[in-house]
Structures are given as structure tokens and as C-alpha cells.
Structure 1
Amino acid sequence: MTLASVPTLTLLLGQAAFAATADEGEEGTRLSTVTVSGAASVSDAQRDQIRLEQVAGRTAVVDNRQVEQGRASNAEDVLALQPGVFAQATSGTGANKISIRGSGLNTFYQGYVLGTKFLFDGLPISGPGGTQEDFLDMQAVDHTEVLYGANAFQYAALSLGGAINMVSKTGRTDPGHYARFELGSYGYRKQQLSTGGVVGDSDYYVNLVHNERDGYQDNTPNEGRGVAANVGHVFSPQLQTRFFFRYREEQLTNGNTLTRYQLKHDPRSNAVPTGRRKDGTYFIGNQTTYTFDDGAKLEVGAAYNDYPLLNGWRYAAAPQDWRSKDLNLTLRYLRTGDTLFGLPSDSSVILSTTRAYLADVKSHSQTTGAKLQETNYTGSRDTVFALGNDLQLADDLWLTTGVSLVNIKRKAEIESTTSVNRTDFPDRVGFTENALAPRIGLRYDLTPEFQIFTNLSRSIDPPVTWQMGSTGNPYLYDLRPQKANTFEVGIRGSHGIFDGSLTLYRSWVKQELLTVVVQQASASQDQLTATSNASPTIHQGIEAGLNALLWEGEGGDSLALRQAYTLNDFHYRHDATFGDNELPGLPRQVYQAELAYRQASGFYASLNVRAASSFYVDFANTWQAPSYVIWGAKVGYQASGERWEVFADVRNLTDQRYATAANTAYDASGRDSANFYPGDALSLTTGVAFRF
């Protein structure tokens, strides 16, 4: 099924000169055009939107408060309605499959989001071992910045997908006490308490959360609890600092993948459950800013991230005990109001380095407890030093230039194993590589309402440590960084009742890191994957959206339509085996829309839809995931002053049976195979919140 075959979905993309920003609303859209009339009238989310609109490329800001007018349990809820972003929950946990412009498009889903850098308040939680999913529950997040590709330059992010920066709520943005309770289908339960305030020149914020879910598939209970807190202090108008603390623990039981037949006829079956336990993930960080007399700023950040994992907990024959501890240092020196060649100039100097100071994995026998294998990654490192400049060539024309110097170190060594390596693969892999990643861009104000932009950039994605091998095999894969050159062009703006943007991009990728499932999980064996550097590939696509204020009453009531459309075209370039085959893992087309009615009194109701085309699950392009159309609806009431709120969020109204994501096979030979993660059937979540 193609999107065009759904007659009820009107894309409205003939007006795509305006596409993909959005007015304020739920579920992950950009904020409406902001007119600054005074500092007090601008929220932190709006201020960051204004800042990101100075980037010569696609960016977005999501106001998480608007997302919280419905179920807000993971990244899928926050990143919905973002063109070019694929975010789908699997097994109902925080282990979302997240991909921007095809980054990490066929990575297996259980955590480890690849190809995108994740940060909290500008401090990375992504490191040499990838990104754990623990903190992607979006707890205590005020707003979320989405920076596509090289447009994430300011965060020293060089991934193909760019960066997602989650900005925390503070005592200044969320003073007072807050309580929230959610209850839903399949045993979903969530309780949240927070308090924040300002005391003199200091402020504080603490958020506690507990969540449970019995699961849609049989035998897939999940439970988690966490704390998010921060304390800030303003020493003077020039010097301020903030300390951050996050803690999260989880026990997850995930369902096995299904065949297409099972997906349609028995989607709740779970013959081979897998367990994952996180006994406590810690994130401790500090961000200190000093403003010089001339207006220049120095931001100094440091963070410690400890994310242990017991993989295969309870069910695997050989569970794996992972230790991952990262240290990060970030420096940003930002200058504004200078001149260069007699022209207005802003510049930046950025350093970010993340080191795995303790990283290893041990597997042991579930029955005897004996150690079977140990692999060590300690010392792996990612370091980026970047110089950037924005030069105003004319009143309405800006030139953006930048260059990043990248130092990548990877170390993987099998220190002990009870298995025999009967292959030519090594048991020790390591390399240090230096590279340059330049970027150049232009943005031009066509009118006060419209801006066009274009850029050319390079991205560099080093392999994460576990891709080289862990404990499933007594050998390692000798991988090298994935590199891509990307051209992007787009327009954004608003006119009358419309606002939005349209972006086209094309990436020429070399040595793309692609993963394949080489052994399906069964009652007697664990799932095994293999990653390799591919022959040249292409990632290209269209990111479009159109938002319209269809009606506005005299009393402030409104009816608004938001839309987002993504075209993904990812394929090989003349591969010796697969020719120009499509790369498996993501739908070629995705369309999302929401029609929302709001009353000034606080009542709101909306109808939403997500439609996705089919996609291949094997590199040989012989078997596909089914296409789907999912409808949902929300209704709620928010009292004046946000003193209390109640809502109901219904998803999958037509009880569609579909796959949220899929594993990737080498060649399915046109046969049905167990590669699909089932999405939830018809579900209802209700919630109530109080602020006092």
C-alpha cells in the first residue's frame, strides 16, 4: 500500500513551500513563529527555537509540556510529527528504535540507538559504547532540541543523524509541587511527583517517577523507577552554574520477534522472551557559564555516566554482565558581535571528549555460573575539536563555515574465552584515527516571513564498541568509521494561516555500518548479530510538513491541522552482490497528521493518524514488513493556570495489527521469518495531574 491509496489522508504538500514547523500542540512538533516583545514573555523553549533558526539547516524544538497533554512515556511520544525522524517503541518500553535520515537504520532494537548523539542540557549521554535507552523515558524534560545531521555542529555531533538535546526542567521553569498519575491498557501504570522552587540566587528541582506495564505480548512485564534532579546558582550576572543528577533502574522482559503470519493471527505470542536488567544507571554532570565583559561566553561542562546492564537476565543460557562508565568534558567558547573582513561575525570554539574509562562485558553460564568469556573496551574514546563562524554578508544573507577535527580511538580485546576461534577473525582489534569534518552553509531571508538555507557537510560515525563483538563469538570484527558527505537545501517560514518548512537532502555514504541477524533467538540459543562496513550507499529524502490554523473563534477557540511527511530513499550504489537494492529497516514513506480542537476554557480534543509504507527486512529485498495506518484520538481538560488536568489518550482505534520495527536478515529468500516486533493493539491511557 502506498500513502496515496489512503483517500482520507490529504497530504496538502502542494503547498510545501511552507512545510514542517508547527504551532504549539501535543506530540512532538515545532513551536509556532515567535515574536519577541520582551524577555519575560519568551519561554526557554521559544528562546532555543529562535537560536536554532539561525542554523543554516533543518532543526526543530519540541515543547514537552504540550506532549504531556496525553501519554508521554517514551521518545516515540515526544518525537512524533517530526519529518525525517523515525521513533517507534517496541515491547512498550523505552527501547525505542530511533533514526534520523536513516541513521542506524537496521540496528536491532534493544537499546543502543546508533547514528545520533543524545545529550542532556548539552552534556552527552552517548559515548564509545553507544546510547543506552534508560534515560529516553523523557522524565523531567522541559523541551527537546532536534538537530538534523551536521546542523548539530554546536554540540560537536558528527553523526549522520545529528543530535537530540533534552533540556531539563528547573526550579525556575517549573516551580511548585506537581503530581501526575496515568493508567492504561496492558497493565500500564505511571506515577510522578516533582517539586521545584527558587531560594535567593539558587533554584532546585526534583522529579520522582515509577512506571509499570504488564505488556501486550505474553510474559512481557516491565518496571522502572527514576530520579531526576538539578540545582542551579547565579553567583553574578557573569557567572552561573548548575549541577545535574539522574538515576534510573529497570527490569525489562521483551517479547520475541514474530513472523508476518503470527503478526496477523497471533501477535501476543512470546515463545522466547528475553530479559534485561539495569540495576542503576547514573548521570552526574555540571554546566558552568561565564560571560565576559565583551559579551563572549565560556561554557564548561563535565559529566559522569555509569550504565550497567545484565543482558539475558532470567532467560538466556549465557547472560552478559556489561560495565560501562564514561567521562565527558565539554568546552564551548562563543563570541558574538565581532567583525571579520568588516562584516558582522559570530564565532565558536568547541571541544568535546568522551572516554570509556571502564568498559567490559562478561558472559557466564546460567546453570553453573562459570565465566564463559570476557571482552574489554576500556580506553575507547571520541574527541572533537571544532571551529565555527557565522558571517553576515548582507542584511539578509549569512555564510556559515566550520571544521571539526576528530580523534577516534577504539579498543576491543577478548581477554578470556572457553570457546575456540576457528575463523580468520581476530580476538583483538584496535585503531586510532584522525579525520576532518568541514561544513559550509548559507541562509537567506527571502522575505520577513520566509528563509531558505543550504549546506554541504561531512559526517563521521565511528563503530560503537559492542559492534566489534561482545560474548556471542570468540572473535571480533575489524570495523572502521562510517563517513558521509551530505548536501541539504530547504525553506522555512509562515504566511497567513500556514507555517512550516520543506527540506531535501542527499548523503553519499562510505563504509556504512550495517547490522544483520545471523542467528535468531530460540529456547536454547541467544540471538547473534554481525556488523560490517558496507560498500557505498545513498541516503536521500524529503522532510516536509504543513500546518494550518483552520479556524479561530473570537473567544480564542481554534481548530488546527498539523502534518508531517517523510520520504526515505536509502539504497546501495552498485554493490557487487545487491546492486542498487534498497537498504532494509525503515519505511520508505511515513505520513503523520493531527487535527486538534481547543477551547479557551481548557477543553481540547484531537484526532491523529500515522501511515507507513512497507519496507524490506532483508538486504536481498525478498521480504517486506506490512504497511499500516494507525488512528488515535485524545480528549482532555486543563484548568485555568494549569492547576489540574485530566485526559484520555486512545491509540490504534481500528485495532490494526502491524510491526513497529523489524530485525534485518541477509537474504530471506522470499520466505516468512520471525523478524517483526508487534505494535500494540487498541489501547487506552487515562491520566490526571495536579499542580499546587
Structure 2
Amino acid sequence: MSRCHPLFPHRALWFSLSLPLAATAQAADGQKKNLETLTVYGQESKLELEAEQSLTPGGVTLLDSADLFQRGAANLADMLRYVPGLWVASGSTGDGSYFSSRGSNLDAVSYDGNGVRLMQDGLPITAADGNNHNRTIDPLSTRYAVVARGANAMTYGAATLGGAIDFITPTARDSAPMEFYYTGGSDNLQQGRLTAGTVQGQFDGLITLESRNWDGYRDHQEQDRLGVYSNAGWQFSDAVSTRVYFQQISNDQELPGALTRAQWKDDPEQANPSNEVGHFLLNVDSWRLANKTVWDIDEQTSLTAGIAYEEQDLYHPIVFSPFFSLLIDTKQTNTATTLRYNARRGDHDVMVGLNYGVTEVEGGNYSHVAGVRTTRSTKVDNDAESLELFVVDRWKFTPQWTAVIGAQFVDATREIRNETVSSGTVRDPKGDYDSINPRVGVIYQINDEIALFANLSKLYEAPTLYELEDDARGNQETLNAMQGTVAEIGSRGSQKLGTASSWNWDVSLYLAHLEDEILSRDDPSAPGTSLSINAEDTLHGGLEALFSARVALGQSGVHSLNPTLNLTLNEFSFDGDRAYGDNELPVAPRHFIKGELLYRHSNGFFAGPTFDIVDERYADFANNYVVEGYELLGLRIGYSRETWEVWGELRNLTDKDYITQVSVKDSIDPSTDPAILTPGEGRAFYFGVRFQL
């Protein structure tokens, strides 16, 4: 587990190598001590990740999945609830979430979630063109997640506006030998997971089987999902280890679609009539095989190499009318390789890295009748390649000061080949993109617990294949890459409050000036599809703050209050645009607050309220259409012991009607009522229980 993070891998490996030896030595003392050894191992892994976080001069959040087994966590919106700077919203599908980091992906195209590089154990799972199309990350199959926002993801090699998220896999060495987890609740949710693992000397293996069925809180939203997640590791010697990962998911999902304001006011649980008549679906079958091998050359030097291959089949009826219908039926293959060389020499800690990926999409666009494919209208044969080379030096030039200096080279190609079957007409734009992106930062460590940081970095992101396909001009030209400069300052740390209390903070303030930001709007001639453009100049700025505390009630520490608060302020706007002036960019609210206040007892009992405060936002570039803000109230309760736990969660206690997602348009006439609103979930109750053997 501790070798999963791409930075400073060697220290964690030495620890993991010592684990089976320590466990063997203590076997005669019984099972209890063996379990204690595993617990220490997991804690050490987290300490390693926190050490990496402390060496980044910007916003990075570390998530521990232990919390996810004490509340509902069906999708990324649930998992990333307490990550500042990320606007994550669920609504149209059971597992899918729209997410934007520091204003990335503000076109709100849910099927092309670009702007954030997704990774598993340091290996890319985002396609080579930058899209996260239908990628289903299972939060409960993650031990930790590291969220590096914006340019702070350079140590992952990510050339994106929004940064990177690395989902770190649990292994048999930091998991119980057997675990069962069940979740149920509103709208007939039924989810079961069975996990089994083994450690045999230098070998370990873990496998999880999952089944999920859900009717959905809206009409035509039913989901059926089966998943298999597994990994196995071998430690060939004290210096060399390898791990293989395999994942297979089959997910069938009905799509309820967006509503007009009148439809939403009348019945937020209804589906768009076109979605029901056209039987809109998002069915994805995918499998992924990956490997990562680590060589500790010496105590100061290590080399990590990885490769991943994925296939996914998409069946996606999305538009239906008497005049036009669209069903996307494609097969996408993704191949990715990574290399990381890490060396510490004196006060310098240097990482040199490489990411290379290839994506191929074959299939076509079809007409359909009620979700049944008929005639192919367009033959699709698209390709993308991406190469990222980067070097980062963390130079501790005094005991309190660390300079972070880095640069990234990006070379990418995008090639679209769309052939209209009826006429044989071919549209085949091809784009080449390259850039050098420097970064400089500094960290001032006030003491062991408190740090200040700042950085100045270049941002760069090439367009995705979908964005090129959707180019509003519809000719052989290609969109420009997005690029800009971002400045950031902030602080993170913790401080004791008396003898048994403490509080923690992570605060970042940033401002970015972007050129050629790619924005998309709904195609008026084919609702449900989009058109993409390059905007001239835009500004992205914000304040990201995460606060948490443990406030002991009395001297014993048996009782405590544990508040958590995610506060994000956004300022995303055009900058002197010829058409839109200084208008605000749509989709992301100006501010949002997500928090909870839990009472905890040392015996494992916890309970308390949760709350969401979300400001209004626009749904069009002209700022004519305002989507109302909202406030939500919930309640969590549970009991957690060493080998079992149970929890319950009541969401949207007041049964508030609100909007979770919107589809973007150029300009909306206030006298019209377009179908662009996706309602959020009404009052709902969920519960879960976990047993470990």
C-alpha cells in the first residue's frame, strides 16, 4: 500500500517489506498482535502521504477512505464532499458525477469530464486526450485519495487546468482478511460488497466483488452494476517489488434527462418525456489491467515503471425526436505508461517523470428507436497521443525554507476522422500541441505543524477528442490548447487547543489568467449534444479553505465535538470578451459551504448534523438565466467498533427542491424555458453495515 504514491516511493517500500517479516516473527504471539502490526502499517502509509503533501507549495488534500464506510459514498460527489476548490455534483446517473476543479470543465459536458487527471496508484486512468468519459471510480475500492489542485499536480505529470486525483488501492497487507459491506436505503438501493485477501510470505492478493441496484429518485433512472476489483503483489527481493491490478465493471444506467423550470416546479422526480420515449441509456462495459514495478536502487534512489491497458464499450442513446436521433456506439482503448526516477542528494530531492498515453475510439453514431440501434449515420475513428516529461527539485536550502522548482514538456496529437455514411464526406481535423510549462514555489515551515507556501506556475491543457468533434465551426480547423499563468499563496497546519483538543486548516488563495479556454454550449439544433469554442481571455480565482477540529468535552477526552467545514469562494469570468464582456462563467456557484458537526464518544458512537449552503449560478454565457442557490440539512449517526460498524444517514431533511446540474447555452431568452435543469435528490435515508473477519 505504501508504495502506491508516485513520490518518495522507497521509504514506504522498506516499511512494507518489513511487515510480513514482523508479522511472521509475532505469529506465535497470536492473531491479535498480528492485527496490531497491520494497523501500524496503515497508519505509516498515511504518514508518508502527509509528508508528500507537506512538500507541495499549494493546495493538496488527502482523503482517508475509512470515513467513507461511515456515510453514503456512491460516487465522486460523495467522496470529494470535503475537498475545497472542487465543485462536484451528482444527479443524472447513479455513479456519474460532474466535477470541476478550480473552474475546469465549466462547459458542464457531463460525458466529457476533462480538466482533472484521474490516476490509480500513480498510473493514469484518464484517456490520452484528457477525458474521463464514463470512468467509474469506486470510492469504496480506494484506501486513500490525494487531490492535487491545479498546477500542484505537476509531480503527477498532469497537463490539466484542474490538477489530478490519485486513487490509492488497498492491498491485503492493510486490509482485513475478509470483509462484508452492505448499503441500502431510499429508492430501493441495494449494494453489497465482499472482499477477501491473503498474505503468504512475499505474495499478497486482494479481490472485491460488488453488486449495486438502484431505482433512482427520478423516473427512468434505474441502475444495475456489477464490479470486480483486484490486485496482487510480489516482493522479489529487498529492492524489487511489483503489483498487478485488474478491474472489470458492467454498468447499465437509464438517463432521466434535464427538465424545464416549469417541469421541475411541477414534479422534480419526473423524467424528461423525450428521455423516456427515446429510452436514453448510458451503458458501459469496461476492463482494465495494470502493473507497477518499483526498484530501490539504493537508500536514496528509486525507479518506478508502470503500464496500464483498458477497453470500454459504450452504448449511449442520447437524442430522440421525430426529426433527429443519436445513439453513440463506440469502443475505446487506452494504453498508458509511466516512469518515475527519484533521487535524494544532500538538500535536493529530485524527481524525473514520464507519462505516455494512446487512445483509440472506433465505432459510430447511429439513429435509434426507443434505444434500439438502427442506421449508422457517422463512422468514427479517432486517435490521441500524449507525452508528458517533467522534472521537479525540492531543495531544502535552510531548515525552514524549501524551494520547489520544476518544468514540464508536453507533446500531444489529436486526430478526428468522422465519415458521413450517406455521402462519404470526411471531416478529419488533426491538431499538434506542445508546450513547456515552468513552475516555481516556496514553502516556509514555521514549526513542525504550521507551514506557509506560494507558487507561480504555467497552466496548459490540450483539447479532448470530443471537444474537437464538437467544434462549433465544423470545418478542418482545430481548437487551440488552453493555457495561462496562476499565482497561489496559502497555509496549512494544525494546532493544539489545550490538552485534548486541536484544529486543522488548509487554505489556498489563487488567481489564474487563461487564454483560449475551451467552453461548450448546448447545440440548439440537437439538444443533448454540444458545440465547442475557444474563448479569448478568462479569469479563474478563488479561496479554498478546509477546517476541521476535535474539541474535547471535559478533561478525559471521552466526549468530543468534531466539526468539518469546506468553504470555497469562486470568481470565474470572461475578461473583456468581445461577446460577453466581463460576464461570469456559468455552472460553478460563486460560493459553497459543506460541513458537519459530529458528536463522538470514545466507545465508537457518533451523531450530528450535516449541511450544504450553495450560492446561485448562471446557466448561460450572457448571464440571463440564474439558477437559484439552496440550503440542505442532513443527519448522520453510527457506531464503529474494531471489527464492525453500522451507520445511518438522512439527507435533505427538509425535502428541499434544488438543482444539482445545468446544461450551458450561449444566451437564454428570459421568456423561454429550456430543458437544462437536473434536479437534486429529495429527502432520502441510507444505512450501511460492515463486518471484518
How high is the TM-score relative to the length of structure 1?
Answer: 0.89
Conservation of the 8 A alpha-carbon contact between 1:76 and 1:88: yes
Conservation of the 8 A alpha-carbon contact between 1:467 and 1:477: no
Structure 1 distance, partners of 2:538, 2:387, is 26
Conservation of the 8 A alpha-carbon contact between 2:638 and 2:646: yes
Per-residue deviation, 1:315: 6.5
Structure 1 distance, partners of 2:613, 2:112, is 26
Please give the residue correspondences for 1:41-52 in structure 2 after superposition, counting only pairs within 5 Å: 42-52=43-53
Structure 2 distance, partners of 1:482, 1:470, is 16
Conservation of the 8 A alpha-carbon contact between 1:373 and 1:471: no
Equivalent residue letter for 2:128:
P
Aligned to 2:635: 633
1:467 aligns with 2:473: no
Aligned to 1:60: 61
Aligned to 1:653: 653
Aligned to 2:335: 327
Report the CA distance shift for 1:241/1:384 in structure 2 as closer, same or farther (over 3 A): same
CA deviations over 1:276-317 (Å, ceiling 9, x no partner): 343521111001000012420100000001122111179783
User: Among residues 511, 519, 531, which one is paired with 2:516 in the alignment?
Assistant: 511
Aligned to 2:26: none
Structure 1 distance, partners of 2:227, 2:282, is 14
Structure 2 distance, partners of 1:536, 1:471, is 18
Structure 2 distance, partners of 1:472, 1:213, is 37
Report the CA distance shift for 1:41/1:188 in structure 2 as closer, same or farther (over 3 A): closer
Per-residue deviation, 1:49: 1.9
Structure 2 distance, partners of 1:431, 1:106, is 21
Equivalent residue letter for 2:125:
I
Aligned to 2:353: 350
Aligned to 1:543: 544
Structure 1 distance, partners of 2:674, 2:320, is 22
Please give the residue correspondences for 1:435-584 in structure 2 after superposition, counting only pairs within 5 Å: 435-469=435-469, 478-496=478-496, 497-519=502-524, 527-553=528-554, 554=556, 556-584=558-586
Aligned to 2:386: 382
1:399 aligns with 2:403: yes
Structure 2 distance, partners of 1:305, 1:41, is 29
Q: Secondary structure at the match of 1:319?
A: strand
Q: Secondary structure at the match of 2:225?
A: strand
Report the CA distance shift for 1:345/1:132 in structure 2 as closer, same or farther (over 3 A): same
By percentage of residues, which structure has more helix?
2
Conservation of the 8 A alpha-carbon contact between 2:94 and 2:216: no
Conservation of the 8 A alpha-carbon contact between 1:132 and 1:307: no
Q: Give the alignment's Cα RMSD to 1 decimal.
A: 2.1
Structure 2 distance, partners of 1:585, 1:361, is 31
Report the CA distance shift for 1:476/1:690 in structure 2 as closer, same or farther (over 3 A): farther
Q: Secondary structure at the match of 2:686?
A: strand
Structure 1 distance, partners of 2:485, 2:354, is 22
Equivalent residue letter for 2:338:
T
Segment drifting more, 296-305 vs 262-271: 262-271
Please give the residue correspondences for 1:283-298 in structure 2 after superposition, counting only pairs within 5 Å: 283-298=288-303
Segment drifting more, 462-471 vs 507-516: 462-471
Per-residue deviation, 1:670: 2.3
Report the CA distance shift for 1:677/1:313 in structure 2 as closer, same or farther (over 3 A): closer
Equivalent residue letter for 2:443:
R
Q: Secondary structure at the match of 1:365?
A: strand
CA deviations over 1:161-216 (Å, ceiling 9, x no partner): 10001001110111311111111111211111111121111110001111111111
Segment drifting more, 131-140 vs 561-570: 131-140
CA deviations over 1:527-568 (Å, ceiling 9, x no partner): 221011111000001011322323244153321111111011
Report the CA distance shift for 1:41/1:483 in structure 2 as closer, same or farther (over 3 A): closer
Per-residue deviation, 1:398: 0.7
Conservation of the 8 A alpha-carbon contact between 2:92 and 2:257: no
Per-residue deviation, 1:447: 3.0
Equivalent residue letter for 1:369:
T
Equivalent residue letter for 2:302:
K
CA deviations over 1:305-333 (Å, ceiling 9, x no partner): 11221111797833111111011110000
Report the CA distance shift for 1:531/1:477 in structure 2 as closer, same or farther (over 3 A): farther
Conservation of the 8 A alpha-carbon contact between 2:365 and 2:380: no
Q: Secondary structure at the match of 2:274?
A: coil
Aligned to 1:81: 82
Conservation of the 8 A alpha-carbon contact between 2:232 and 2:244: yes
Structure 2 distance, partners of 1:616, 1:445, is 40
Q: Secondary structure at the match of 2:70?
A: coil
Equivalent residue letter for 1:381:
E
Aligned to 2:418: 414
Equivalent residue letter for 1:550:
V
Segment drifting more, 315-324 vs 193-202: 315-324
Structure 2 distance, partners of 1:550, 1:95, is 36
Aligned to 2:132: 131
1:221 aligns with 2:222: yes
Q: Secondary structure at the match of 2:87?
A: strand
Conservation of the 8 A alpha-carbon contact between 2:77 and 2:89: yes
Conservation of the 8 A alpha-carbon contact between 2:392 and 2:406: yes
CA deviations over 1:433-481 (Å, ceiling 9, x no partner): 2210110000001233321000011121111101111799986662121
Segment drifting more, 526-535 vs 410-419: 410-419
Report the CA distance shift for 1:294/1:638 in structure 2 as closer, same or farther (over 3 A): closer
Aligned to 2:175: 174
Report the CA distance shift for 1:374/1:203 in structure 2 as closer, same or farther (over 3 A): same
Aligned residues: 637
Equivalent residue letter for 1:118:
L
Conservation of the 8 A alpha-carbon contact between 1:469 and 1:475: no
Equivalent residue letter for 2:168:
V
Unaligned runs of 5+ in 1: 1-37
Q: Secondary structure at the match of 1:226?
A: strand
Structure 2 distance, partners of 1:432, 1:134, is 25
Equivalent residue letter for 1:227:
V
Structure 2 distance, partners of 1:147, 1:474, is 35
Aligned to 1:267: 268
Q: Secondary structure at the match of 1:514?
A: strand
Aligned to 1:4: none
Q: Secondary structure at the match of 2:174?
A: coil
